[in-house]
Amino acid sequence: MPNGLAKCPPCNLSKGNRMISVTLLPWQEDAVNQYAAAGFPPRFLLAAVPGGGKTKTAAAIAAKVGRFTVVLVPQADIVSDWRADLHARGICTADIRKGKEGRSLAIGSVCPACGRPATALVMTYAFSASNPEILCKVMRDRGPVLLVLDEIHHLRDGGATLAPIQAAWPFAGEGDRQVRVLALSGTPFRTDEEPVPFIHTPGPFKDERAMIPDDWVVDYSYGKAVADKPAAVTQVIFERFDGDVEWDESQDDGSRKEKSARWSGVHGKETARKVRRHGVNPNGDWLRKVLIAGDAKAEELRASGDPRPGALVICRSTNDAVGTADLLLAIQQRPVFVYTESYSTCNHRRSGGRINERTGERVGNQITVKLRDGTDGSVLDAFKESDAVWLVTVRKVSEGVSVPRLRVLVYAAIIRTWLFFMQVLGRVIRIDRTRSKGADQTAWVFIPDEEQMRQFAGTIEQQAAAALVQGALIDEEPEDDDQTITCFTGGGGTRGTGRDQFLRSDAEYAGATYAGKMHDADFMEIVRRTNRPEAEAIPVVRALAEQGLLNFGSDPEESSSASPVQPEDPHKQRNRAVKGLRDKTESWAGIRQKAGEFRTYQEAIRVCHAQVGGEFGTRADNPDITLEQAEKAKAWVAERMREAYEARWGRDALPF
């Protein structure tokens, strides 16, 4: 028996009708051994890809250290997961209750269910900040302590989450009694570039940056995790959707003017922000079509043998989450779960909740839910054990939350930071260990076809592709629109003073990113005609395409090495050339605007399109443009792009 440990009743209930395996993956065993080989250092960082299994590794380290363990976590939803993983290692957790006079909090000394001595305590950063005396009392009275800081990038100098640790540090002890800090994070950095305490500083509360020694760090990236045998996380296919977004905004003279932009265009920061905000509006066509595609994928997974595939939508606000849930009710027949800070339900009804007159947001929480074993749980707990497909949230299902059955993700948020992207991705790349060995658990992520998201997806896929080839050879982020959003799409400009209003958003399938490369819609159509899983078919189809054996204008069966490739459909050729001309023209405009020729990107777009029209007698968006005109214009614009870039940044900086 791999886990023949005495369990308290809550631990046995948490197992359900099966034993919880405490067998570690190879990388987890290596991490525990590295910690021991380093001599149980005062600080140690476990930097592993989100979803890779940091919690179980930390529980194994805690069991090996044998100290009283205090775990601080970013949100309450993962407290129960931590308790279960600690219990699986024979570590019972204490409860926190009112003191005898009801005016203070007391920490229990035994497990409240079985009476065994409690050797661990789990609480959130927020609870610890509100009750700093708890950490002081533990460090003073419970002997040597192992302090586990989950998602440690939440800590920063001067922040509320660090305050209780600073207050308790005088009781940290010296020598063998010194507190040992085990830091965990899938993204061990902050987007504000401040140093992370215990990791990027020589002492826990100093400003000087000095990374802790390499032998005190476990670095387990996505590439390593997906290439390991067995894999720690699953592979991902990113489905990209393009389209036009329209809105109108007020002018200085009080009038309103319609604006439009394309997801895949090169935009200044202000335009990019508006495209994101209006593009994911539930009243538009873009989100509806992406949700239809995501639901179809979930049904396909169910038909292919996954009994309970789950799908997650990350929205930008509670109102958007309610609107998204309304769309899902019209698309599919199963219950829709909504889980946000102000509105949560296991069975959403159209325009559910009530409107808060002060904020204008939907409110109405289903605080507790009866689970199958009769205990109380949250909406998230209910979703974990349900057969429903869709869970809609804003930011509550991100860091550390484990729902292994999630296979589909629709990214409808406006945040554009690597930290947030990776934490959200971690929700769908966890491997469900209860499924049969060899079962396909590929994750599907639906994203806008914009430059920033393409970069993120490409980085993930390049890591995976590089690791797989090598194996074969041997803080808080902003949420509302008035905050700064990290954006790599270039451009400049300042935030406008007038209010802009959503008009329309269209959706157009743009292709998929997988195995280190981006594939267009025509390529993916060939892949899907093979009737094979995409993860298997994409490398084969790509190899055939690179050999010139594929005809993207006909069925795959009609293309072979024995017969010549048929000419492509002229209409499709023209459409591709026109799209290429439009994209290059917009890129040319972006280069010129960044070089200072124009005040705004929209002005640059107008001038560039006009110059193309003057040179060739037609604009790129003219429906009567011919294939020959489009190809010639595209080559001409490419040369102008090169000249503009070289004139501003020099020949050595040319990216194309």
The CA-based dihedral angle spanning residues 13, 16, 19, 23, taken in that order and rounded to the nearest 10 degrees:
-90
Instruction: Dump the DSSP string for 396-457.
Output: SS-SS---TTEEEEEE------HHHHHHHHTTTSB--TTSPTT----EEEEEE--HHHHHHH
Q: What is the mean pLDDT of residues 570-579?
A: 74
- Mean pLDDT (whole number) for 484-489: 30
Name which of 16-30, 167-181, 308-322, 394-408 the model is least confident about. Answer: 16-30
Structure confidence at residue 377 (pLDDT): 85
Give the C-alpha separation, 49 to 457, whole Å: 15
Give 626-642 pLDDT, tens digit per residue: 888 888 888 888 888 88
What would the pLDDT profile of 330-378 be if each residue is shown by its tens digit? 999 899 999 998 999 999 999 888 888 888 888 988 878 888 878 888 8
Confidence of residue 544 (pLDDT cuts 50, 70, 90): confident
pLDDT at 303 over 70: yes
Mean predicted confidence (pLDDT) in 573-587? 78
Residue 495 pLDDT greater than 50, yes or no: no
Residue 27: φ, ψ to 5°: -65, -30
Q: 161 and 281 share a domain?
A: no
Structural domain count of the chain = 4
- 520 & 463 share domain: no
Which of 426-440, 480-494, 558-572 is least confident? Answer: 480-494
**Could you tell me if residue 192 is inside a domain?**
yes
Cβ-contact 541, 530 below 8 angstroms: yes
Average pLDDT of 125-144?
Answer: 90
What is the rounded average pLDDT of the residues 292-302?
93
Average pLDDT, rounded, for the chain: 80
Q: By three-state DSSP, how is residue 47 classified?
A: strand
Mean pLDDT of 558-571: 45
Q: Is residue 465 part of a domain?
A: yes
Whether the pLDDT of residue 327 is over 90: the answer is yes
CB neighbour list of residue 563: distance below 8 Å, 6 or more residues apart? none
Phi first, then psi: what are they for 313, rounded to 5°?
A: -115, 125
Sorted by sequence, the CB contacts under 8 Å of residue 633 that are 6+ apart come out as 581, 612, 615, 616, 618, 620
For residues 189 and 300, state if they share a domain.
no
**pLDDT number for residue 115:** 75
- Total residues found in the chain within this entry: 656
- Tell me: do 652 and 562 sit in the same domain: no
d(CA 318, CA 437): 39
CA distances (Å), origin 188, targets 61, 303, 395, 458, 651: 19, 39, 19, 21, 37
What is the spatial distance between Cα 546 and Cα 421, in angstroms, rounded to a whole number? 32
Side-chain half-sphere CA neighbours of 124 within 13 A: 12
Max avg pLDDT among 189-198, 374-383, 597-606: 374-383
Percentage of the residues of the chain whose pLDDT score is greater than 90: 32
Bridge-partner residues for 256, per DSSP? 250
- Which of 515, 547, 579 represents a domain boundary (last residue)? 515
Distance CA 50, CA 401 (A): 10
User: Residue 117: which domain range?
Assistant: 9-220
Looking at 202-317, list the stretches that DSSP marks H as alpha helix, in order from N- to C-terminal side. 222-227, 269-279, 285-303
Please state, as a whole number, how many other Cβ atoms lie within 10 Å of the Cβ of residue 539.
Answer: 13
Q: Which of 487, 515, 543 is the last residue of a domain?
A: 515
The residue with greater pLDDT, 112 or 89, is 89
| DSSP run (H or E) holding 575 | helix 570-594
How large is the average pLDDT for residues 98-107?
Answer: 67
Q: How far apart (Å, rounded) are the C-alpha atoms in residues 546 and 155?
A: 48
- Reported as type and span, the H/E element at residue 97 is strand 96-98
Compute the distance between CA of residue 282 and CA of residue 588 in angstroms, rounded to an integer. 32
- Whether 263 and 393 map to the same domain: the answer is yes
Does 215 fall in a domain? yes
Question: Looking at the DSSP assignment, which residues form a beta bridge with residue 497?
Answer: none
Alpha-carbon dihedral angle through residues 120, 125, 131, 137, given to the nearest 10 degrees: 30
Least confident stretch, 117-126, 234-243, 512-521? 512-521
Is 80 exceeded by the pLDDT of residue 517? no
Return d(Cα 158, Cα 278) in angstroms, integer.
Answer: 36
CB 86 within 8 A of CB 59: yes
Prior bond of 230 cis (ω within 30°): yes
**Max avg pLDDT among 63-67, 416-420, 502-506, 570-574:** 63-67
Name the 3-class secondary structure at 466. helix
pLDDT at 37 over 50: yes
- Least confident span in 165-179, 296-310, 397-411, 591-605: 591-605
Q: Predicted confidence band at 473 (pLDDT cuts at 50, 70, 90)?
A: very low
Residue 493's pLDDT band, with cuts at 50, 70 and 90, is very low
Residue in the block written with tokens 């050339």: 577
- Mark whether 182 and 277 lie in a shared domain: no
- pLDDT for res 266: 81
Tell me which residue of 322, 488, 474 sits closest to 394, measured CA to CA.
Answer: 322
Q: Is residue 88 part of a domain?
A: yes
CATH number at 144 reads 3.40.50.300
Quickly list DSSP for 165-234: HHHHGGGS-SGGGSPEEEEEESS-S-TT-PPPTTTSSSSTT-S---PPPGGGEEEE-HHHHHHSSS-SB-
Q: Write the DSSP symbol of residue 95.
A: P
My answer on whether 128 and 63 are in the same domain is yes
pLDDT grade, residue 552 (50/70/90)? low
411 in a domain, yes or no? Answer: yes
CB 577 within 8 Å of CB 630: yes
Residue 462 lies in a domain: yes
Residue 21, CB-side half-sphere exposure with 13 Å CA sphere: 6
Any domain includes 599: yes
Report how far residue 128's alpha carbon sits from residue 121's, in angstroms, rounded to the nearest whole number. Answer: 11
pLDDT of residue 101: 57
Confidence of residue 553 (pLDDT cuts 50, 70, 90): very low
Q: How many CB atoms lie within 10 A of CB 529?
A: 13
Same domain, 240 and 362: yes
Region 100-108: mean pLDDT is 68
Q: For tokens 């640059």, what's the residue?
A: 604
502 in the same domain as 423: yes
Residue with tokens 């760090």: 217
Q: Looking at per-residue confidence, does 81 or 517 come out higher? A: 81
**Of the candidates 113, 108, 122, the residue with the CA atom closest to the CA atom of residue 80:** 122
Q: How confident is the model at residue 487 (pLDDT cuts 50, 70, 90)?
A: very low
Question: With bands split at pLDDT 50, 70 and 90, how would you rate the model's confidence at 536?
Answer: confident
523 domain-assigned: yes
- Same domain as 367, residue 274: yes
> What's the start-to-end Cα distance of the chain, in Å?
60
Same domain, 47 and 185: yes
Same domain, 35 and 137: yes
